[in-house]
Structure 1
């Protein structure tokens, strides 16, 4: 299978390699280099051809962003909401060939679709030509500021992940370049998706709420959170599988546990700060447990809280999709006292904030929360983010 970086531009590839060094896999390196250089004239031609066709950012309906740490249910929510047919989204072809979305991607679409994996590498969620994707792989093909470059080039893992998630060490010009490339991608997606309002899911943006509000003042946000114990053990699998599949350099030195805990804490601290003054019709929180147990009710509440239209008309489509995935088998991971102790030591304030407990143990209400009449403490936890 082709490496995702086959869809990059030469400048992005060179900028990352200046920091991390060249790939250590000659075959993959040759394939990436050939694809990047062979596509470059066509990518350039596409950018020139689209210069007068793309809408300006302020002419587009402001996107709705789904936020949440990886493995917190963002994909499940994205898959449900896109089934309405009213949203523009990120199709698989846009992640691999963001520079070539209207040219080479259309020419080679049948081949690209046949090359799609049957399911995602990190879990059993099916992948089809119409499956909505997070845009971070596309961003990694357009900008040197993406956490995926830490996975691709793990020799500089810590540096690239921090730069890609929090812009640590990035000069002002690098951040501005990321913003320009990101907005350009949104403009292309808006045209590609027929002018529909974009629904964008990317865990990276959980720590960038303030920046996204600055770029899209009328944007709306949905934050979904899940028990940090579950997130932690699932993220171990996430990193191990992605590194094994996509790393172009050795990665035995990578501290996966430390990365998970550090990133989670920084993301959630940033989100808490950035969301303090959010209007009630621009930002909504929900628990993955609520979405999992009562998906239709959870999605309806999102539509109501954010003032989104079309839930009633889309309800049959949501119901049909949910029926089709009812037998979906989730990944299951073993818990250990060692893993739980790490979570409690580093993420205890989030356990308290949302009222989470070790899996299998009774849950307390989130901080400052009281059960509703006729509701137990354990069941009340499912209402914490929707209040």
Structure 2
């Protein structure tokens, strides 16, 4: 059984629910899909209905005022996409990149109110800022209207063509699965999704005419589609120790489903779903990353970013041809200083869960160069090193200075895993 954090507070968004950003027409389509509901969440349903009516009025008012500017504006430059699985460090990377004032980014208000933020952001954020929680419900990262956020939330509210429907449809994969890659959608759905993303980016550009930095793990599935829309886009892909990703993703799902769902969270098959989606994302990324032109993709190791963020970002800027890093460096250093003392969620690793993770995701451990963490494998690897005098000891993983994926684990480690029957399952 996957572990909960060893220290938990009751997750809350202080009444803020993602679905409040839908228009009235979209809300009707949403409830026709019949999300699971519970009488104790009736207020959340009513709140969503009422908010959608207000949103529709504000959407029309915004278009009357800003519609012409939105139609005519051109993007200030190709977007920069932050890719990677949930809980791999995408938020940290996005937050640091957003310190560069030559770029803009979607914030919490934009993604929760995508239909009218040009009209209402200035007033509403001032009036409601004090009601927001200090931290995000799933971790200890700061929360505020101006903090960088995932554009996928906005796309979900605008189109319902998003895997984030899973927040309300926990067990109904058929409702949202095809929206990961956007390959099995109709031509009309594909065109509507592309129009929504472009509209959202143009509205961000009207607000602040700068190139946009976007971070949504779901975009990792959509490299061909994003290149079709933005041939000159740049991509930063971040990865992390799969053990940490698994536990943190389980906690993320429990928390986000709870604060945004219309019924209590059903954890049946949740662990299997986390395994499945990670496997799907990994193989899609490995297949599609080769489509990105040279000099437009760079891979970042979370542990390196955490240890020396300035050096890692400097290398990333150079690798994908971003503007002079020295301009952004003072702002990034200031943000790093503000983050001092940040406390990550802690999880208790039980051997059985670790074995399941390694068995299912061994391909990721090998691709990214992480040790299995299994006690018997560690002992076998140490024994192999001890009996090979001419072979230098490997440096600790955390001590390596590179932001690219590592080579496969040591032969002794792989052999020990095979002998224990932990052959990976590849989806």
Normalised by the size of structure 1, how large is the TM-score? 0.90
Gap change, CA 1:242 and 1:93, over 3 Å in 2? same
Deviation at 1:78?
1.1
1:383 alignment partner, SS class: coil
Equivalent residue for 1:280, pick from 283, 294, 297: 294
In structure 2, distance between residues paired with 1:28 and 1:51? 31
Gap change, CA 1:314 and 1:16, over 3 Å in 2? same
Deviation at 1:240?
0.9
In structure 1, distance between residues paired with 2:273 and 2:262? 19
Deviation at 1:33?
0.6
2:241 counterpart residue number: 227
2:387 counterpart residue number: none
In structure 2, distance between residues paired with 1:113 and 1:375? 53
Deviation at 1:128?
2.7
Pair 1:88 & 2:93 matched: no
Equivalent residue for 1:20, pick from 23, 29, 34: 34
Q: Following superposition of structure 1 onto structure 2, how do residues 169-318 of structure 1 map, counting pairs within 5 Å?
A: 170-192=185-207, 194-252=208-266, 254-318=268-332
How many residues were matched structurally? Answer: 376
> Contact conserved, 2:111 with 2:149, CA < 8 A, in 1?
yes
Deviation at 1:334?
1.1
Gap change, CA 1:253 and 1:319, over 3 Å in 2? closer
In structure 2, distance between residues paired with 1:3 and 1:99? 15
In structure 1, distance between residues paired with 2:178 and 2:268? 16
Normalised by the size of structure 2, how large is the TM-score? 0.82
Q: Residue deviations 1:195-219, cap 9 Å, x none? A: 0110111111111111111111110
Deviation at 1:382?
5.2
Equivalent residue for 2:396, pick from 378, 384, 387: 378
Equivalent residue for 2:126, pick from 101, 106, 110: 110
1:135 counterpart residue number: 151
> Contact conserved, 2:170 with 2:266, CA < 8 A, in 1?
no
5+ residue gaps, structure 1, are 365-373
1:371 counterpart residue number: none
Structure (1 or 2) with the larger CA radius of gyration = 2
Q: Residue deviations 1:87-142, cap 9 Å, x none? A: 10111110111101122333322233223221111100111332111112212211
In structure 1, distance between residues paired with 2:143 and 2:368? 32
> Contact conserved, 1:72 with 1:231, CA < 8 A, in 2?
yes
> Contact conserved, 1:289 with 1:382, CA < 8 A, in 2?
no
5+ residue gaps, structure 2, are 1-14, 382-391, 407-427
Equivalent residue for 1:333, pick from 347, 356, 359: 347
1:3 counterpart residue number: 17
Gap change, CA 1:58 and 1:226, over 3 Å in 2? same
Deviation at 1:34?
0.9
In structure 2, distance between residues paired with 1:324 and 1:354? 30
Deviation at 1:17?
2.1
> Contact conserved, 1:154 with 1:250, CA < 8 A, in 2?
no
> Contact conserved, 2:113 with 2:154, CA < 8 A, in 1?
yes
Deviation at 1:253?
5.3
Gap change, CA 1:98 and 1:59, over 3 Å in 2? closer
In structure 1, distance between residues paired with 2:90 and 2:343? 17
Equivalent residue for 1:122, pick from 138, 158, 166: 138
1:164 counterpart residue number: 179
Q: Residue deviations 1:134-173, cap 9 Å, x none? A: 11221221111122221123353x2234133234753232
> Contact conserved, 2:105 with 2:212, CA < 8 A, in 1?
yes
1:52 alignment partner, SS class: helix
1:204 alignment partner, SS class: helix
In structure 2, distance between residues paired with 1:26 and 1:332? 33
In structure 2, distance between residues paired with 1:4 and 1:164? 18
